[in-house]
Amino acid sequence: MKDQKILVTGPTGQVAGPVAHHLAQDNEVWATSRFSDESKKEAFEAAGITCVKSDLGSGDFSELPEDFDYVLHFACSRTPDFETDLTANGEGVGRLMSHCRRAKGFLACSTTGVYEADDHNPFTEESPLGDNHRVMAPTYSLSKIGAEVVARFAAKEFDLPTVITRLNTPYGSNGGWPYYHLMMMKNGVKIPVHTNKPSEYTLLHQDDINRTVSGLVQAASVPARIVNWSGQEHVAIETWCTYLGELIGVEPLFDYTDETIESVKTDNTKMQALVGPAQVEWKDGLRRMVEDRHPDWLV
């Protein structure tokens, strides 16, 4: 995607920031969030990205233009309060889509946390929805399901081509769940894994996110298209932690418990048909993560 005017929401988050920087190489990119920490704007502005304050909770997007070609909506509220998160995640996406209704494509980033737990079976886009994050993030699954419903409605209401991407376990040199596990291992903290072991997920490296995001938003449609956004390698927490441990010379400690999320494996057949498979092999991605963030930890 080149020479397009693109809005990225939630740029201070793990995934959206690298996406904004990646697209800014060939496009006019705007980034919007609350920017409560003014210093976080500096790196974006240095890359030629226009930063504008907005707030999903209030739904005030008056400072944003209305002529974006594409919108990549990554911003998400994750608090313990349902009123806060339903307003920001559900109503917020509707207000943003109304404001940007002239766009050629709108990507609403959702999560594989919307699926009902189903042992170790891979989820397809047609799998039943549920509240699988309740044990760790009580509002997350339900508010993201609500956001999907609003996005589906708004796509039809505004004739706005939309793709809802259900993201599964993003990681890379910018962080992610495996990075948190790395930090826990380094500090001798036990890593929670579900008793229905192994705890398997379908990792997606930030390089693959950057590579596929343009094709996904350009595949937006009315009614909204829903796509699992993941790799195709199913890897257990126990497996990736063991590998990270080999890299830094630390043996991981596990705490088997029901007070954590069960396996979330996804089928990415629909994604592959649109933008091809993920290309970063999980061991290579994790090794680069350690090399980039803590090269002195490697043994």
Are 63 and 211 in a shared domain?
A: yes
Amino acid symbol at 246: E
Looking at the structure of the chain, the number of domains it has is 2
pLDDT of residue 278: 98
Residue (of 92, 90, 181, 194) closest to 141 by Cα position: 90
Q: What are phi and psi of 74, to 5 degrees?
A: -110, -15
Q: Are residues 56 and 187 in the same domain?
A: no
The pLDDT of residue 283: 98
Range of the domain at 68: 5-170+204-229
Closest CA to 239 of 267, 279, 197, 268: 197
Let me know whether 12 and 152 are in one domain: yes
Q: How many other C-beta atoms lie within 10 A of the C-beta of residue 274?
A: 15
Which pLDDT value is given to residue 60? 87
Per-residue confidence (pLDDT) for residue 39, from 0 to 100: 85
Residues of the chain with pLDDT under 50: none
Are 68 and 5 in contact by the 8 Å Cβ rule? The answer is yes
Do 238 and 118 share a domain, yes or no?
A: no
- Statement to judge: residues 165 and 282 lie in one domain: no
The verdict on 65 and 189 lying in the same domain is no
Do 289 and 165 lie in one domain? The reply is no
Which of helix, strand or coil describes residue 106? strand
Q: What is the pLDDT of residue 38?
A: 83
Q: Are residues 114 and 67 in the same domain?
A: yes
Burial class (CB in 10 A: 0-12, 13-18, 19+), 232: middle
pLDDT digits (tens, 9 = 90+) for 58-73: 888 989 999 999 999 9
Q: What is the DSSP letter of 168?
A: -
Q: Provide the pLDDT for residue 194.
A: 97
What tens digit of pLDDT does each residue of 188-245 get? 999 999 999 999 999 999 999 999 999 999 999 999 999 999 999 999 999 999 999 9
Q: Residues 57, 177: one domain?
A: no
- pLDDT at position 76 is 94
* C-alpha–C-alpha distance, residues 203 and 181, integer Å: 14
Q: What is the pLDDT of residue 37?
A: 83
Domain match, 186 and 77 both: no
CATH number at residue 115: 3.40.50.720
The enclosing domain of 184 has a CATH number of 3.90.25.10
Count of C-beta atoms within a 10 Å radius of residue 26: 12
